[in-house]
Structure 1
C-alpha cells in the first residue's frame, strides 16, 4: 500500500470513529444541528487538507481542542449577528405595530366613509373595488351605463380623498 492510501485509510477510520462524538460535542456548544455538522465537517476537511503536516501526539485530543476553538469562534460571530438581529427585529416589530395601528385606523375611517355614501354609490364602489368587477359589468347588473358607474366612482373617490387628506372623517 502506498503512503497516501494508508493516510486515506487512517484518516477515514479517524473520521468514522470520532465523527459522532465530535458532532455531539459541537452540538453542546452551538445548540444547532446543522451548524454543528458544518463545523465538524469543515474541521475534518481542513485536517484532511493538512494531512501531510498534521501529526499531533494525540489526534483525538487535538481534534477536540480545534473543534472547541471553532465553536467558540462561531459563537462569537453569532453573538454579533444576534445582537444586530435583535436590534433589527425590535425595530421591525415597532414598525409593524405602528403599521397595524395605522392600517386599523384607515380601515375604520374607510368603513365610516363608505357608510356616509349614498346606498347606490356604496354598492357601486363595493362591486368595482371590493369585488373587482368592471364598470361595464356593474352597469349591466344595475341597468345603467358605464358612464354613470364612472360618475359614482369619481364622486366616491373625491369624498375619500377629501376626508383622508383633511383627516376629518365627518366633513
Structure 2
C-alpha cells in the first residue's frame, strides 16, 4: 500500500472522531474544522514517520491537542490585542460631544429659569466642584442656608429638566459631578 493510500485510509478512519474531539473543545464549529485540518496537515507532512496503525489514532489526538493549545493561545492573544486597540481608539476618538448638545441646551435653559442665588449655588458646587460650605462663602450666605438653597435648587432643576434616567433630558447625565461631602 502506498503512503498516499495509507494516509487516505487514516483520514477516513479518524476524521469524524477528531472533529468530535475538536468540536467539544472550541466555541465555533469553523474553529474545530481548522483544528482537524491542521492536525491532518501535520500528519501529511510527517507521513513517512507516522506510528503503526494501532497507535495512529492516539498520535492524532496528541497532535490535535497541541493544535488546540496553539489555537487557544492565539485566541487569547487576539482578545488582548483587541482590548488594547479598543483602549487606544477610545483615547484617540473620544465620544462625540455633539450628542450631548440637546441635553446641555435643556439644562442651560432650566438654569436660566432659576433665581440667581440658586443658579450660582448649583454652578459653584457642580461645575466648579466647590463644597457647599465654600460656595456659601462665595455667595455670602451661611453654610446651612447654602445647603438648603442647594437642595431646593437641585429639586427645581429636576422639575424643569426631568429626572428620568432613560429620558434625554436627565440632569445627572449632564451635570453629574460628585459633590464633596462635608461634616456638620
Could you tell me the TM-score, scaled by structure 1's length? 0.50
Confirm whether residue 104 of structure 1 aligns to residue 103 of structure 2. Answer: no
Partners in 2 of 1:88 and 1:27 — Cα distance? Answer: 30
**1:91 shift after superposition:** 5.0
Aligned residue number for residue 28 of structure 1: 24
| Secondary structure, counterpart of 1:31 in structure 2 | coil
Tell me how far 1:87 sits from its aligned partner: 3.2
Deviation of 1:30 (Å)? 2.2
Alignment equivalent of 1:46, drawn from 37, 42, 48: 42
Q: Does 1:82 align with 2:79?
A: yes
Q: Post-superposition, which runs of at least 4 consecutive aligned residues in structure 1 deviate over 2 A?
A: 7-10, 86-96, 105-109
1:111-159 Cα distance to aligned partner (Å, 9 max, x none): xxxxxxxxxxxxxxxxxxxxxxxxxxxxxxxxxxxxxxxxxxxxxxxxx
1:61 matches 2:34 = no
Tell me: higher relative CO, structure 1 or 2? Use CA pairs within 8 A at least 6 residues apart: 2
Q: Does 1:8 align with 2:4?
A: yes
CA RMSD of aligned residues (A): 2.8
1:52-111 CA distances to partner (integer Å, 9 max, x unpaired)?
A: 122255000010011011101210121122122123335546776x433x12245789xx
Aligned residues: 104
Structure 2: give runs of 5+ residues left out of the alignment.
105-184
Contact residue 38 and residue 67 of structure 2 kept, 8 A: no
